[in-house]
């Protein structure tokens, strides 16, 4: 005869296993279904973004391009496109696969969240620039429309992301991207960077490693078939045309619009004085606010007082206080020669 206590223990154990497996919302099966559903939604949203990107570039998307972008098989891609069609998000005809108005609206909503989150990371956090895009790729699928609008309002409803891409409005409107690739400028011509493409990520990493960012003024020194030499912030840069094509600029036509480059604070030697003219747009978020709180604003007199070994950091006298600033930050502070103009 079975021991009643043993039978009771078995029953409790079996009940526990069933609870772990099938508990509503938190059980293994519910978690599996949610993960599967989320994976399906991510594929749908990434496919819509891909189709919108091709539409913007007037390139015809194909099943192969979708499969390559999503890293899925051809069979899975066919099933995905059929699902998109059944949802009324795309249509297929002799012109290929195209977004419907409903699909385009959905794609713009995801793009809005992505670019808002990149703006948030740039302005409000210390996340590295090279990580903004990848983090936004994850976050765009997990933020609701309501949360996105709250975030946008907190940031003052920004119009552009930190790469220079326009942020779609909540109504789904988006201005056409202006400018032209850096490769179009000819020798001796000037331009201002308005956008740096963040895909492919490998190219983007190389571009930010060169210290490029929207707002910088460039001058073409020598454009050749295999490389483009240009000057930016007083330094010479060299890019292959493949990389330079991912940098969009607007040409500067009038001579009086072309501003001379300023020196950076890191060039100041011990005992020398200078006046701050601005902080680079590449200095964002908490670091930018810290420098401004310390008095690093246009018109402020700065004196280099102490230099450590290797000149990193250097201590500067700013409004009567001695403040140590690292070279990477001093490189982002622009100065001009001290004269008798009014100081803050």
Q: Give the span between the Cα atoms of 82 and 101, in whole angstroms.
A: 17
pLDDT band at 334 (very low <50, low <70, confident <90, very high): confident
User: Rounded to whole angstroms, what are the CA distances from 151 to 107, 120, 155?
Assistant: 19, 8, 6
pLDDT score for 230: 94
The pTM (predicted TM-score) of the whole model is 0.68
Q: If DSSP codes are grouped into helix, strand and coil, which group holds residue 247?
A: strand
pLDDT band at 35 (very low <50, low <70, confident <90, very high): very low
Residue 164 pLDDT > 60: yes
CB 196 within 8 A of CB 163: yes
CA atoms within 13 A on the CB side of 173: 3
- DSSP, residue by residue, 165-229: PBPPPTTS--PPP--EEGGGPPTT-EEEEEEE---SHHHHHHHHHTT--TT-EEEEEEE-SS-EE
If you search the block for the tokens 């007082």, which residue do you land on? Answer: 305
Residue 45 pLDDT > 90: yes
Show the domains of the chain with their CATH numbers. Answer: 28-99 (1.10.10.10), 180-257 (2.30.30.90), 263-337 (2.30.30.90)
Q: Give the span between the Cα atoms of 104 and 98, in whole angstroms.
A: 9
User: Rounded to whole angstroms, what are the CA distances from 242 to 77, 130, 228?
Assistant: 29, 19, 10
Q: 181 or 282, which is more confident?
A: 181
Helix axes 201-209, 132-139, angle to 10 degrees: 140
Residue 33 pLDDT > 50: no
Q: What percent of the chain has pLDDT over 70?
A: 84
pLDDT band at 20 (very low <50, low <70, confident <90, very high): low
pLDDT band at 114 (very low <50, low <70, confident <90, very high): very high
Of 18-22, 169-173, 336-340, give the range with the top mean pLDDT. Answer: 169-173
Element (H, E) at 324: strand 321-325
Helix axes 101-124, 145-154, angle to 10 degrees: 40
pLDDT score for 247: 95
pLDDT score for 174: 87
Per-residue pLDDT tens over the stretch 76-93: 999 999 999 999 999 988
pLDDT band at 107 (very low <50, low <70, confident <90, very high): very high
Average pLDDT score, the chain: 84
pLDDT score for 32: 46
pLDDT band at 216 (very low <50, low <70, confident <90, very high): confident
- DSSP, residue by residue, 58-102: T----HHHHHHHHT--HHHHHHHHHHHHHTTSEEEETTEEEE-HH
Of 36-45, 107-116, 172-181, give the range with the top mean pLDDT. Answer: 107-116
Q: 254 or 97, which is more confident?
A: 97
Residue 30 pLDDT > 60: no
**Sign, Cα dihedral of 317, 309, 235, 289:** negative
Q: 215 or 99, which is more confident?
A: 99
109-114 average pLDDT score:
96
């Amino acid at each position: 005869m079975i021991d009643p206590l043993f039978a009771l223990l078995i029953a409790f154990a079996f009940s526990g296993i069933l609870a772990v497996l099938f508990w509503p919302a938190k059980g293994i099966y519910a978690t599996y279904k949610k993960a599967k559903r989320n994976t399906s939604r991510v594929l749908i949203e990434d496919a819509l973004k891909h189709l919108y990107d091709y539409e913007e570039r007037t390139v015809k998307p194909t099943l192969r391009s979708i499969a390559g972008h999503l890293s899925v098989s051809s069979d899975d891609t066919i099933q995905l496109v059929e699902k998109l069609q059944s949802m009324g998000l795309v249509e297929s005809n002799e012109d290929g696969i195209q977004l419907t108005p409903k699909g385009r609206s959905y794609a713009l909503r995801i793009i809005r969240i992505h670019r808002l989150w990149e703006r948030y990371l740039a302005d409000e956090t210390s996340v590295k620039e090279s990580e903004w895009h990848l983090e936004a790729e994850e976050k765009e699928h997990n933020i609701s429309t309501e949360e996105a609008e709250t975030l946008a309002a907190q940031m003052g409803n920004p119009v552009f992301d930190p790469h220079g891409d326009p942020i779609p409005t909540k109504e789904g409107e988006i201005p056409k991207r202006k400018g032209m690739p850096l490769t179009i400028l000819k020798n001796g011509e000037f331009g201002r960077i308005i956008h740096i493409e963040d895909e492919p990520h490998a190219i983007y990493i190389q571009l930010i490693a060169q210290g490029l960012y929207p707002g910088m003024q460039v001058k073409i020194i020598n454009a050749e078939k295999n490389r483009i030499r240009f000057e930016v912030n007083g330094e010479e840069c060299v890019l292959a045309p493949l990389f330079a094509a991912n940098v969009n600029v607007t040409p500067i036509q009038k001579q009086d619009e072309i501003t001379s480059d300023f020196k950076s604070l890191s060039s100041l030697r011990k005992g020398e004085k200078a006046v701050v003219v601005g902080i680079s747009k590449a200095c964002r978020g908490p670091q930018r606010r810290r420098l401004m709180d310390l008095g690093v604003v246009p018109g402020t007199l700065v004196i280099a007082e102490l230099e450590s070994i290797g000149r990193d950091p250097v201590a500067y006298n700013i409004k009567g206080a001695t403040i140590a600033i690292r070279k990477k930050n001093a490189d982002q502070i622009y100065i001009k020669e001290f004269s008798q103009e009014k100081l803050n």
